[in-house]
Structure 1
Amino acid sequence: MSTEESDWKAGLTAPKADERYKTEDVTQTKGREFEDFFLKRELLMGIFEKGFEKPSPIQEEAIPIILQNRNVLARAKNGTGKTAAYIIPCLEKTDTSKPEIQVLMLIPTRELALQTSAIVKEVGKHMNLQCMVTTGGTSLKDDIMRLYQPVHIIVATPGRILDLASKDVAKLGNCKTIIMDEADKLLSPEFQPVLEQLIGMCNEAHQICMFSATFPVTVKSFCQQFVPNPYSINLMDELTLRGISQFYAYVLERQKVHCLNTLFTQLEINQSIIFCNSVNRVELLAKKITELGFSCFYIHAKMQQSNRNRVFHEFRNGATRHLVTSDLFTRGIDIQSVNCVINFDFPKNSETYLHRIGRSGRFGHLGLAVNLITAEDKGNLRRIEQELGTEIKPIPSVIDRSLYVG
């Protein structure tokens, strides 16, 4: 490995950045400390060992309210500490002396479920707490065997946990805390009937805490029926895309690969995620990038789960700089070393755009989003700018490194 490569990989393990280069959505706090929430000593040990120093704004707002067993409707930008905002109070409320499922964390994708359960285990490692992750695409028999042992917290995709609960293997009758992360995705037509069944299987005296960056009409109607009197947290009024510099380049379709090559050569990319609008284009583009001489992985929903897991973990550990993906990867994937997102294919709607570029600029770090725009995309570009109240600027000949290298 070259000196440059080893220096780069070493940098991935040290995501702490100078506070001057962080954005207000993680620095503009009320000055609280984790000790102010009167958490168990064992939990505080896990929080600090994980590297969390002070609560971010979403954590300051959500932790005390969830500890009061209230329903919560929380809207915050991806990458601002949203996951820990619900994990920490859930760990605090869990009684490890009771061998029963007390918390159900519902997650829309397998990758995000695995990532979330890993954080639960890391933060709760001194608590003698049992957390299980269960998702589709893995052995149902193994999950059934695991549930013969005590489990306090389950992190799950909806279909798999409904399967286990319907068989009365996962007993949810004593589960009083239901977390819905990426709630807008969970409430898509395919998931909503499953969620309604799961809620009915939990303890009647449950609380529901919903987290998302966007709350469409489906979420509001669901709340009216299933989440009475939620405490509303909204940190998104002006912070939606703060810290991410957005540019577009008008190109012909046949010029896109050449343009990408130029970006790779001229930008100081720590790690990048490149989005395509179809599975076929993901694989074709990854092949092209490799032919250009750049290290590159790809991931999409039609890959075997074991391969997806391997690619995700290797990318997270810095085995390659570039990852080509479909929209599978837009939900909650938290890799702080990603400082550049490239929309090789421009998305069709503002919600997808928001989630895609939110992969850059994690936890207040600066990030860059570059959009390759064809004539067909011009209308979508202007509409997305209007809907998100943001400006996507023409790409300059040289992009100021201070915009995305912190």
Structure 2
Amino acid sequence: MAQAAQPVQASHAGGGEDWKKQLKLPPKDQRVKTEDVTATKGNEFEDYFLKRELLMGIYEKGFERPSPIQEESIPIALTGRDILARAKNGTGKTAAFTIPTLERLDTSRNEIQAVILVPTRELALQTSQVAKELGKHLGVEVMVTTGGTSLRDDIMRLYATVHMVVATPGRLLDLAGKGVAKLQNCKMLVMDEADKLLSEEFQPIIEQLIGFLPPERQICLYSATFPVTVKQFKEKFLKKPFIVNLMEELTLKGITQYYAFVEEKQKVHCLNTLFSKLQINQSIIFCNSVNRVELLAKKITELGYSCFYIHAKMLQSHRNRVFHDFRNGNCRNLVSSDLFTRGIDIQAVNVVINFDFPRNSETYLHRVGRSGRFGHLGLAVNLITYEDRFNLYRIEQELGTEIKPIPPTIEKSLYCT
């Protein structure tokens, strides 16, 4: 491959030459996709006048054309305007904010110029990886920092060049408060899964962090759901934000949803039946408590199926290993608490099972969104007890969706491509 230009002299694409032929592009994704990622205006990434080195990273990552959220978001973000964007899980939100953020960085300046905040460590690792891959020809230095890792290592890393930080809020506030993460020239703040970041747990930390930023800054919020807390934050901190709402329908297209009416004591037997009948690439099985996650994982292993589990009370090093191994396909099934509903993108997951039915519609939406990533087909099966029946009805009403009784056989074409 041709050597990329030095980042300081990064050039913008154009001129009609077919430079893409030089790139080692991944094979095209031939799977059927749903219209929430295909119903675009027909824009190309070249239309945004991005640096050629950034375009090289985009095409090498396998992105062919912008998805709807990318079409709506990228050109506005490039102007420096605040953004409030609602789009479904799995429709390309990460690239929608990472691409314009990378484009606006000046690698000749040795300072933090952009911060991306996310609610979980796993999402931080995943987002920083996307940023590094997209920006690999730009010479951009991306740092990831989260709680549960060595503070000393992070402090040492910040003595070297860092242009972009991907972080969980508490750790970044700690570093900023110590004067190690210098944010006075950081003019871009992106918040992914903004509804979670503006919950009671995080909002006071976020507001303190904003105090370290310069008065002239860009704040971009991205999420699938926007509760009242986001409205209050918008009115306090955002300046005439551009609103993107691609959420007329809340649940993802391409995900078929069923329920099975069972007694609590029948759940494991029902799960065993699903495993034997479904064509599962990979599945995530959700429970409502940490104890139930571990107990169910043990039961699934006893039934003879490969199974990992993950929850918030595990050591971070263990969580990282489980996430990495599951993502690499070393195991077919993962039992999880709601820790894993936020933005985690594993393309091979085509089945989500709610072993315990979630308590509210937002949690349901985020759980189900783990399958059917980027417009592919997926299946959600909910095990419903007598006590869950009102909750099922309420969530159907709130999301404007229909969860159907499970048929004796499920067509493979509904969730396998």
Aligned match of 1:384: 395
Mapped contact 1:176–1:207 kept (Cα < 8 A): yes
Residue 55 of structure 2: aligned partner: 44
- Higher mean alpha-carbon deviation, 355-364 vs 231-240, is at 231-240
- Write the deviation string for residues 304-362 of structure 1: whole angstroms up to 9, x where unpaired: 00000000010000001100000000000000110000000000000000000000000
C-alpha distance in structure 2 between counterparts of 1:326 and 1:121, whole Å: 28
**1:304 and 2:315 equivalent?**
yes
Question: Is residue 275 from structure 1 mapped to residue 261 from structure 2 by the alignment?
Answer: no
Post-superposition offset of 1:26: 0.2
Q: Which residue of 2 aligns with 1:313?
A: 324
Question: Is residue 2:353 matched to residue 1:342?
Answer: yes
Tell me which residue corresponds to 1:248.
259
Partner of 1:5: none
Deviation for aligned residue 1:204: 1.1
Q: 3-state DSSP class of the match of 2:125?
A: helix
Q: Give the whole-Å Cα distance in 1 for the aligned partners of 2:239 and 2:335.
A: 41
- Which residue in the other structure is 1:16 paired with? 29
Q: 2:172 aligns to what SS in structure 1?
A: helix
For 2:220, the aligned partner's letter is: C
Question: Does the 8 Å contact 2:285/2:336 carry over to 1?
Answer: yes
1:69 corresponds, among 71, 76, 80, to: 80
How many angstroms apart in 2 are the aligned matches of 1:164 and 1:270?
41
Distance 1:312 1:218 in 2: 30
Could you tell me which runs of 5 or more consecutive residues in structure 1 were left unpaired when the two chains were aligned. Answer: 1-12
From 102, 107, 112, the counterpart of 1:91: 102
Aligned length, in residue pairs = 392
CA distance in 1, matches of 2:125, 2:221: 19
The aligned residue for residue 185 of structure 1 is 196
CA contact (8 A) 2:250 2:399 kept: no
What letter is aligned with 2:261?
Y
**1:287 matched residue in structure 2:** 298
**What is residue 155 of structure 2 aligned with on the other side?**
144
Q: Which amino acid aligns with 1:379?
A: F
- State how 1:197-208 maps to structure 2 within 5 Å: 197-208=208-219
Mapped to 1, the partners of 2:385 and 2:120 lie a distance apart of: 30
Q: Is the 8 A contact 1:62 1:233 kept in 2?
A: yes
2:30 corresponds to which letter in structure 1? A
Contact kept in structure 2, 1:75 and 1:212, CA below 8 Å: yes
In structure 2, the partner of 1:3 is: none
- Whether 2:39 is the aligned partner of 1:32: answer no
Tell me: CA distance 1:185–1:98, structure 2 relative to 1, closer, same or farther (3 Å). Answer: same
Q: CA deviation at 1:303?
A: 0.4
Deviation (angstroms), 1:167: 0.4
Displacement of 1:242 after TM fit? 1.2
Question: What percentage of residue pairs aligned between the two structures are identical?
Answer: 74
Q: Does 1:158 align with 2:158?
A: no
Residues of 2 paired with 1:190 and 1:293: CA distance? 39
Conservation of the 8 A alpha-carbon contact between 1:25 and 1:239 = no
1:131-185 superposed Cα distances (whole Å, 9 cap, x missing partner): 0000000000000000000100000000000000000000000000000000000
Specify the code of the residue in structure 1 equivalent to 2:191: M
Q: Is residue 2:226 matched to residue 1:215?
A: yes
1:239 to partner: Cα distance: 5.5
Shift of 1:95: 0.2
Structure 2: where are the runs of 5+ without partners?
Answer: 1-25
CA-CA distance at 1:298 after TM superposition: 0.3
Q: CA deviation at 1:16?
A: 2.1
2:182 and 2:207 map into 1 onto residues whose CA distance is 16
| CA drift at 1:14 | 7.7
Distance 2:350 2:30 in 1: 13
- CA RMSD in angstroms, aligned pairs only: 1.0
The answer to whether the 8 A contact 2:27-2:62 is kept is no
The Cα shift of 1:15 comes to 8.7
Alignment partner, residue 207 of structure 2: 196
CA contact (8 A) 1:17 1:365 kept: no
Structure 2: distance between partners of 1:14 and 1:99: 36
CA distance in 2 between partners of 1:36 and 1:14 (Å) = 23
For 2:315 and 2:301, locate their aligned partners in 1 and report how far apart those are by CA, in whole Å.
21
Paired residues of 2:284 and 2:336 also in contact (CA < 8 A) = yes
> Amino acid of the residue matched to residue 163 of structure 2?
H
Q: Is the 8 A contact 2:28 2:62 kept in 1?
A: no
Per-residue deviation, 1:56: 0.3
Q: Point out the more displaced range, 365-374 or 236-245.
A: 236-245
**TM-score, length basis structure 1:** 0.95
2:138 to 99, 124, 127: 127
State the AA in 1 paired with 2:212: M
Secondary structure at the aligned position of 1:62 is classed as helix
Secondary structure in 1 aligned to 2:116?
strand
Whole-angstrom distance in 1 between the partners of 2:92 and 2:35: 13
CA distances 1:1-48 after superposition (whole Å, capped 9, x unpaired): xxxxxxxxxxxx989233xx2111100000000000000010000001
Instruction: State the secondary structure of the residue aligned to 1:147.
Output: helix
With normalisation by structure 2, the TM-score equals 0.93
The aligned residue for residue 240 of structure 2 is 229
2:407 corresponds to: 396
